[in-house]
Structure 1
Amino acid sequence: MSAVVLQVGQCGNQLGLEWCKLLNKKSNRYKKRCPFSSRTGELAAVCVDSEPKVLRRMHEFVKKNKMHPSNIIDGKGGLGSNWAYGYHGGQGEVENSLLQRTMEAVRREAERRDYYGGTVLLHSLSGGTGSGLGSRLCEEIRDEFAVGHILTVSVVPHHSGESPLQHYNTLLSLASLHRSADGMLLFNNDHVLSCTGSQHSSAAGRGAVSCGLPQGTLSAMNAHIISCTAGLLLPVQSLSTDSGQSLGIEPWELIRSVCPIPTAKLLHTTQVSASETSHWDSLVSGVLQNLPHLSPAGKPYSSRAVLAVARGNQDNSFIASNVLQKLRQGHRCVKWNPFPVDHWTDPRNETGISLFSRLLTVCSNHSSVTKLLHHVVQRSRDMLAARAYLHWYERYGVETDDFHQALSSLSALIEEYDSQ
């Protein structure tokens, strides 16, 4: 089963570049069993942006015959960091629009797969292309490939300061994506920056446990997000056949594991790594240390479901260390889910420098997402009350009622998470 990676906007293509570099470093044997590339090693990726500048480095993969040239799609100008412009397009854009060209590329890439399982979208929630066009593409893909899955890797903007329209864009994106996607891996820029800007170490045999990269730069932030994504989505032995052949079902099994009901699918990811001599219990402690535990009001957060992916489990010690019970207690898993913690293992760590280092990536359907939702809803309501920037959206077909519907959707989502 194969997946098509769709990179949309500046952020999505910066992440996609890191992703493609990671896959391109793998051996030909690995590429042949990876769901994100063909048997000949071509990357199953479609790259789109409203400006050509960000896509220039992706042409390197075309020159090396690692990507079809028709899979790189650019426009003639930006979308003004405006969700409405990205979603609806400008005046007179018909058959040659970014939307139509991208959908045609996705169709061709899906037809090249042995079996198309779904799409993984890399994008940001704040910019015009990543948020607006990304949302529209998800809806179109859902209509075109009704039985295919959609998993998004969605970057949440900083709490403030990126763009005056970021709260509107995030509001409209979240509401749209929650209708069309099956699961959303959210990476908050503020949290990613804190992870990449510091190292948390603890005694772990002869090795140290690290939750991130040493520098809080944009490059390090992108690398951290892709490391987390790879930790979850690259093939693992526990989901392979007896002969070692990957089935390519990791993205879709992740959705099944951590999204037990379709009304709540916003996902939190944490990752720690250590040397091969470290104990898994220490890595679990690092994961839980970086997990939000209390809301601003002092209410404990909880999880509907948790997936732990342990790479570098060469001695099969992951389960023997009783880490699953620790993860269940640390995430305060809901009582109504009888099997809230799933786990996958692989003896090698294909994402790291050393194939024998240990990497633990944990994805949880965690109620701490309500902090983000509350912030987006409150800021958007304040801006709507002042009618701030509304004319920028109205000129592209988004009315006040559309904002209120999005607010209603996110408010219902907050109630859903609060009720668990």
Structure 2
Amino acid sequence: MKDTLSYTMMENKDLLHVDSEPKVVQKACKGLKIRDGNIVSGKRGRGTNWALGYHGLKKSGEDHILEDTANQVRKEIERCDMYSGCIMMHSLTGGTGSGLGSHLCEAMREEYPMNHLISCTVAPCLTGESPLQNYNALLTLSYLQRNTDCVVLTYNDDVLGKLQRKMESVSFDAMNTSIASALGGVFLPTDTMTPKSGPSIGMEPWEMIRSVCPLPANKFVQVHHIAKRQLSWAGLQKQMSQGIRRHDSKGNVFGSIGNVVIARGDSTETFYPQMTQGLEKKFRKSFNTVSWNPFPIDIWTAKTNSIGPKDTASITVASNSESIVEYLETVYERSRVKFAAKAYLHWYNKYGVTNVSRIVFII
């Protein structure tokens, strides 16, 4: 039997867990086998403020999260036989996730300019509780646009809406599981990317960049995922097509410039033949692929479904589409209205953002 172990089977030892508050990250890492030093935490939170997260605390003797994280990243890279890139997972508008996340992306790009950098970030509900979330989102997205190769953007509203159609009460665990399953559907090893001579070397994230983000200016990606028992590939494609938003609020159809379709649980190896026999055309129609890209869809398969029960099959699509524009317009307009009233700008001045006009006009 072919050895299917891969670079991912490292018992989480090469992962870094970073937060500004120790109790949060320590709770999340409880029970996991993590290398000493790979849990980096500060002494206090960042108050849902991008400026405080980015610039940190000014008092001497306070935490040094950025320096400690950069040092641990360097140590992990030195342990690697080959370093291809890094995947960061963080929130879009929390003080730590947005501000510190932006600073880490900037530092990683400066220190490792030739290696890949992917950001997996989660956008809050548009009716979120923080009055600073739109400012934070604009600032974070601008840094991600400049410093990363790909931004996998997940909307809490979309995840919540999807789960509410399945269950009466949606928990945070259910939302986290849904997001993790979607990301795992893209990043975990596939047979397509596994060399015939040995185990996977983890090329899936970097091949996704090549396939889905061919233009450096267009790097925002959404991931769609569906998993079912006893359902044909055509049935899975149909259910996925019915569950995704294909139009904006004005009725305009979202277009896409690049897509990767990943099928897991393809034990009979029937997915690729079905794609060539007409299923690919349905995907092209569902994601409204551009005419100028001769190969708008890449196809990956795996015989086993490593992100669910063995008797399930799943389809995951990573799509570079225009849907990000609608979100940006909403966030920008809300920020512009607040900026015109000079609302909350003092919180950014207080923690080091001297040119407040960049908050709204940065993108």
TM-score by length of 2: 0.94
SS at structure 2 position matched to 1:332: coil
Match of 2:301 in 1: 345
| 1:400–1:60 distance in 2 versus 1, CA, 3 Å | closer
**How do 1:35-184 and structure 2 match up within 5 A?**
35-38=7-10, 41-61=11-31, 66-92=33-59, 97-184=64-151
User: Does 2:235 correspond to 1:290?
Assistant: no
Change (3 A) 1:372 1:314: same
Distance 1:142 1:83, change over 3 A: same
What do the CA deviations read for 1:108-163 (whole angstroms, capped 9, x no partner)? 11111221111111110110000000011001001111111111111001011231
Shift of 1:255: 0.9
1:277-319 CA distance string (max 9 Å, x none): 3210111112211222222122111111111110001111112
> How many residues are treated as equivalent by the alignment?
357
**Aligned partner (choices 133, 150, 153) of residue 186 of structure 1:** 153
| Amino acid in structure 2 at the alignment position of 1:374 | E
Aligned equivalents of 1:68, 1:272: Cα separation in 2 = 33
**1:377 aligned counterpart, secondary structure:** helix
Which residue number corresponds to residue 14 of structure 1? Answer: none
Q: Partner of 2:324 in structure 1?
A: 369
1:10 matched residue in structure 2:
none
Q: What CA distance in whole angstroms lies between the structure 1 residues aligned with 2:264 and 2:221? A: 20
Aligned to 1:415: none
> Does the 8 A contact of 2:339 with 2:360 survive in 1?
no
Is structure 2 residue 175 aligned with structure 1 residue 221? yes
The answer for the alignment partner of 2:220 in structure 1 is 266
Per-residue displacement from partner, 1:201-252 (whole Å, max 9, x unpaired)? xxxxxxxxxxxx7752111001100000111000001111113510211111
CA contact (8 A) 1:36 1:44 kept: no
**Partner AA of 1:34 in structure 2:** S
Root mean square deviation, CA, Å: 1.7
Task: Give the distance between the partners of 1:273 and 1:293, measured in 2 at CA.
Answer: 20
1:34 and 2:6 correspond: yes
Q: Which deviates further from its counterpart, 395-404 or 260-269?
A: 395-404
One-letter amino acid matched to 2:342: R
Mapped partners of 1:253, 1:61: distance in 2:
32
* 1:324 to 2:296 alignment: no
Letter in 2 for 1:301: F
User: Counterpart amino acid of 2:23?
Assistant: K
Runs (4+) of structure 1 exceeding 6 A deviation are none
Unaligned ranges ≥5, structure 2: none
How many percent of aligned residue pairs carry the same amino acid?
39
Amino acid at match of 1:285: K
Q: Is the partner of 2:357 in helix, strand or coil?
A: helix
Report SS of the residue matched to 1:70: coil
User: Which residue, 391, 395, 404 being the options, matches 2:350?
Assistant: 395
Partners in 2 of 1:140 and 1:94 — Cα distance? Answer: 22
The verdict on how the C-alpha distance between 1:93 and 1:178 changes in structure 2, with shifts beyond 3 A counting, is farther
Look up the match of 1:4: none
**Which of 342, 352, 360 is the aligned partner of 2:315?**
360
- List alignment gaps of at least 5 residues for structure 1: 1-28, 200-212, 410-420
Question: 2:187 — aligned with what?
Answer: 233
Q: Determine the C-alpha separation between the residues in 2 that align with 1:262 and 1:254.
A: 13
Deviation at 1:42, TM superposition (A): 4.7
For 2:297 and 2:361, locate their aligned partners in 1 and report how far apart those are by CA, in whole Å.
34
With 229-238 and 50-59 compared, the bigger mean Cα shift is at: 50-59
